[in-house]
A and B are shown apart, each in its own frame.
Chain A
Amino acid sequence: MVAGERHGFALVEMVVTTALLLLVVQASWWVVASQARAAAYVVEAGRAAEARHVTRHLIGSELAFDGGQGAVTVESGEVRLRGFRGIVAFCAGSGAEWWVNVSGLREAVQERDSVLVHDGRLGWLAAALVRRGGGGSGPCPDLLGFQEERWELDRDLEAPVAGRFFERAGYRFSAGAFRTLVGSAWHPVTEASLDDGASSVSPAGGGAVRVSVSWDGPSPLDEPVSWTAWRGR
């Protein structure tokens, strides 16, 4: 009698336990599925936000330190500008050859970079970097993060004090990605998940650039996002 009561009780227990377990599993499944959806949303939103962030950062920083009036052109969905790459402090020299201290986002590249030099007498002047050589034993002082070099420019300078060097840069949306011009090829800087038709760069007046970025397909974020990037410092 006791054993029978025990078996019956165990069966009820098992049914209740199974039901409860099923409820737990169902709840867990719902939680896991919701989390998976949320995770997928977060990943997708992160990718879209990353594409926006990269585009905004590149265009914004390039325009903020572009090479001066007339250096920015926006045509046929492409923005072309002189992209800032580093600074230079003049130490000694004459004519077109000078000892300089250089620091920047990358090393200067001869026959590719241009230099905007502030001349104490004449103001800002543009020049091209013809040749650069290593320094180390010249007259420049030791400055943290700077290295001494010997530069030859394509023009004589009277009293250069400091300057910035640039390279010709280009950006556009094509083949589903935001791309930068490297040599003659357009390299992607975002993943190829953008909508070419809705993503664009266009002139906004005063040297500013209007940028729109749209995700290809259903977007997790408000689309499209547009902003105006301004020149200046």
Chain B
Amino acid sequence: MTADRPDRAGFALAGVVLALALLLALAFMAAAAARRQVANAGVALDVLAAEAAAAGAVEHALRHLEGPSSVPVGGVRSAFEGVLGGRVWQVQTHRLTREYHVLLGYGSLAGAPARSRHARLVWWLDPVVRVGEFGAVLESGGGVIPEDAVAPVADALGPGDTHPGCESEEGLADAVGSPLAGSGPLAAPAEWVGEGGRGSSPRLGHLGREALVLLADRHVADAATLAACSTCWEGVVVAADGTTIHGSGAGVLVALGSATLAPEGRWDGLVLVAGDLTLGAGARMVGLARVRGTTTIGTDASVVGSVCAAYRSLRAATSLHRPLRIPDASLLGPLPPVPG
């Protein structure tokens, strides 16, 4: 009896081993297929997460970059970097021209020494370029403008009225023509005011009517009385159509329609008017002005050319100093990952 047991046990054992081997083979096949699928899905997820990190880096920069651009023209500077979920992200600012920049976002891949990229073309207002666009102290779409009311400026960067000179400001001498004419037609293409293929009026580079309203530091309407000193810059002041400004103001005045500077009133800085501009008797405007409609200048009223006042009013308008996506096609395109 004891001698028979090994034969019987061996037969059963062989069957069990065979069955186990079959089941194990099936299990291994299933496990291997599952592992391959998980690995493939992991790579795809890694790439997607890195691309999202790169795009997020650019969005982060768009939300948090403020103030004038500090990157030299042609230069590259790291703006932000961080770690999100163990994934390193970084964004660089590449300044192409004084106003155009490329924001380059990078997101590292977890499973490979490579980085996904994201690139956006952005526009970043530069006061030097904006005042350099002026061909005259007062650019107007029409109206009779007495020569003695808007005098040309011999030294465009020299001191004028209560404003000191700005010759030492970097790039300004190259951008601004000197002498500057007193009055002239609207610049072509009508980049600041007018349709000009770039949308709404008034306009400040790529900042259109809606953007200027959103970024305004102050809104005025009807009969507004201001009391600012000539260098107490108030940022961007948006005036509704038909506004009459009494007293004195300083800053970037954006009139959404027609505007009037009341008799003996004063404005220092940059003035953009979408409609007509009327200067009451004895009113004084110091800086640069662009008027889409006609300009009417009252008795003893004047426009005193001052590039420096316009420049400083733009410098002080901090809400305008941030990178903005250019319209139509800010996203430059899908870029392949790079080693690094």
Interface, chain A (partner B; CB < 8 A): 2, 6, 10, 13, 17, 21, 24, 28, 31-32, 35, 61, 65, 84, 86-87, 89-92, 103-105, 116, 118, 120-124, 139-145, 159, 161-162, 164, 233
Interface string of B25-63 (1 = CB under 8 A from A): 010000000000000000000000000000000000000
Chain B interface size, as a band, is 35 or more
Those of B2-30 within 8 Å (CB) of chain A: 4, 8, 11-12, 15, 19, 22, 26
Those of B96-120 within 8 Å (CB) of chain A: 96-97, 99-100, 102, 104, 106, 115, 117, 119
Those of B285-340 within 8 Å (CB) of chain A: 326, 328-336, 338, 340
Cβ A17 vs Cβ B15 within 8 A: yes
Cβ A161 vs Cβ B11 within 8 A: no
Cβ A91 vs Cβ B100 within 8 A: no
Those of B64-96 within 8 Å (CB) of chain A: 74-76, 92, 94, 96
Cβ B334 vs Cβ A31 within 8 A: no
B275 CB to closest chain A CB (Å) equals 25
Query: B328: which A residues are within 8 A, CB to CB?
Result: 123-124
In the bound assembly, the distance between CA atoms of A28 and B189 in angstroms comes to 81
A8 CB to closest chain B CB (Å) equals 13
Given A10-B8, A143-B76: A161 and B100 interface contact (C-beta under 8 Å) = yes
Query: A21: which B residues are within 8 A, CB to CB?
Result: 15
In the bound assembly, the distance between CA atoms of A65 and B328 in angstroms comes to 12
B171 CB to closest chain A CB (Å) equals 15
Kindly identify which residue among A32, A103, A116, A123 contacts B335, using a CB–CB cutoff of 8 Å: A103
Cβ B96 vs Cβ A164 within 8 A: no
Kindly identify which residue among A13, A90, A122, A142 contacts B8, using a CB–CB cutoff of 8 Å: A13
Query: B12: which A residues are within 8 A, CB to CB?
Result: 17
In the bound assembly, the distance between CA atoms of A103 and B332 in angstroms comes to 11
Query: A121: which B residues are within 8 A, CB to CB?
Result: 189, 191
Interface, chain B (partner A; CB < 8 A): 1, 4, 8, 11-12, 15, 19, 22, 26, 74-76, 92, 94, 96-97, 99-100, 102, 104, 106, 115, 117, 119, 121, 189, 191, 197-198, 326, 328-336, 338, 340
Query: B197: which A residues are within 8 A, CB to CB?
Result: 123
Query: B11: which A residues are within 8 A, CB to CB?
Result: 17
Given contacts A65-B334, A87-B332, A120-B99, 14 further A-B contacts (CB under 8 A): A21-B15, A24-B19, A61-B334, A91-B74, A92-B74, A116-B329, A124-B329, A141-B75, A142-B76, A144-B338, A145-B117, A161-B100, A164-B332, A233-B329
Kindly identify which residue among B1, B19, B329 contacts A6, using a CB–CB cutoff of 8 Å: B1
Select from chain B the residue with minimum beta-carbon distance to A116: B329
Given A89-B96, A141-B94: A123 and B198 interface contact (C-beta under 8 Å) = yes
Query: B117: which A residues are within 8 A, CB to CB?
Result: 103, 144-145
Cβ A161 vs Cβ B15 within 8 A: no
Kindly identify which residue among B26, B76, B119 contacts A35, using a CB–CB cutoff of 8 Å: B26
A36 CB to closest chain B CB (Å) equals 11
B78 CB to closest chain A CB (Å) equals 11
Select from chain B the residue with minimum beta-carbon distance to A161: B100
Kindly identify which residue among A87, A141, A144, A164 contacts B340, using a CB–CB cutoff of 8 Å: A144
Query: B326: which A residues are within 8 A, CB to CB?
Result: 118
Select from chain B the residue with minimum beta-carbon distance to A85: B333
Cβ A164 vs Cβ B94 within 8 A: no
Select from chain A the residue with minimum beta-carbon distance to B133: A121
A170 CB to closest chain B CB (Å) equals 20
Query: B94: which A residues are within 8 A, CB to CB?
Result: 89, 141, 143
Cβ A233 vs Cβ B331 within 8 A: yes
In the bound assembly, the distance between CA atoms of A144 and B134 in angstroms comes to 38
Cβ A141 vs Cβ B333 within 8 A: no
Select from chain A the residue with minimum beta-carbon distance to B96: A161
Cβ A145 vs Cβ B121 within 8 A: no
Query: A91: which B residues are within 8 A, CB to CB?
Result: 74, 96
Cβ B26 vs Cβ A162 within 8 A: no
Query: A105: which B residues are within 8 A, CB to CB?
Result: 334, 336
A-B contact pairs, 22 of them (CB 8 A): A21-B15, A24-B19, A28-B22, A84-B334, A86-B333, A86-B335, A87-B119, A89-B94, A91-B74, A91-B96, A92-B74, A103-B117, A103-B335, A118-B100, A120-B99, A121-B189, A145-B335, A145-B336, A145-B338, A161-B100, A164-B329, A164-B333
